[in-house]
Amino acid sequence: MKSEGYMHSLDGSSEPTKTIPMPFVIGIFIVFTIIGGVTAFFLTSSKNITQTQSTTPVSVQTETTAGIVDKATFKDSSTGVLREGGIEGEGNFHLERPGGVSQNVYLTSSTVDLGKYIGKKVTVWGQTFQGQKAGWLMDVGLVEIN
């Protein structure tokens, strides 16, 4: 009995099983590895392009507006008359809004000097934080006189 392949059938027949040549398997592996690497390169380079094209927040200081124009970070807003004083240690200022004390927005800011706007009707944009005593506590990033 003459053997022509590496493997023989287990069912007892004398015909050898066809096998895939090892150089072919290695070649397929190399091709798929290159395709995966090229795909990963283009996916990561397109991600870097969109990151570098993002806009940088703009700081403004005019007679009626002050702060950082960044609507992604400062997406909450409210309008009212700015007053000095927080509530039980939360906030340094507050906005008086129609509806009484329960509708006040308590404010703090590390980017805008809110003291310049006391007594004026303003719109503020900022980021809301959970307060212990304040119903609405906001870190203000932008203020505009109405």
| CB within 8 Å of 7: residues ≥ 6 apart | 16, 17, 19
Q: Which of 9, 34, 5, 2 is nearest to 20 (CA)?
A: 5
pLDDT value at residue 10: 64
- Of the two residues 104 and 15, the one the predictor is more confident about is 104
- Between the ranges 19-23, 24-28, 48-52, where is the mean pLDDT highest? 24-28
- In tens, the pLDDT along 46-105 reads 655 445 445 667 888 888 888 888 877 888 899 999 999 888 888 899 999 998 888 889
- In tens, the pLDDT along 91-143 reads 899 999 998 888 889 998 888 889 999 999 999 999 888 878 788 888 899 99
Helix residue ranges per DSSP H, 66-138? none
pLDDT value at residue 79: 94
pLDDT value at residue 13: 61
| CB within 8 Å of 84: residues ≥ 6 apart | 92, 93, 115, 118
In this predicted structure, the answer to whether residue 21 has a pLDDT above a threshold of 80 is: yes
pLDDT value at residue 121: 95
pLDDT value at residue 15: 60
pTM for the whole structure: 0.58
For 75, the token pair is 């997406």
Confidence of residue 30 (pLDDT cuts 50, 70, 90): very high
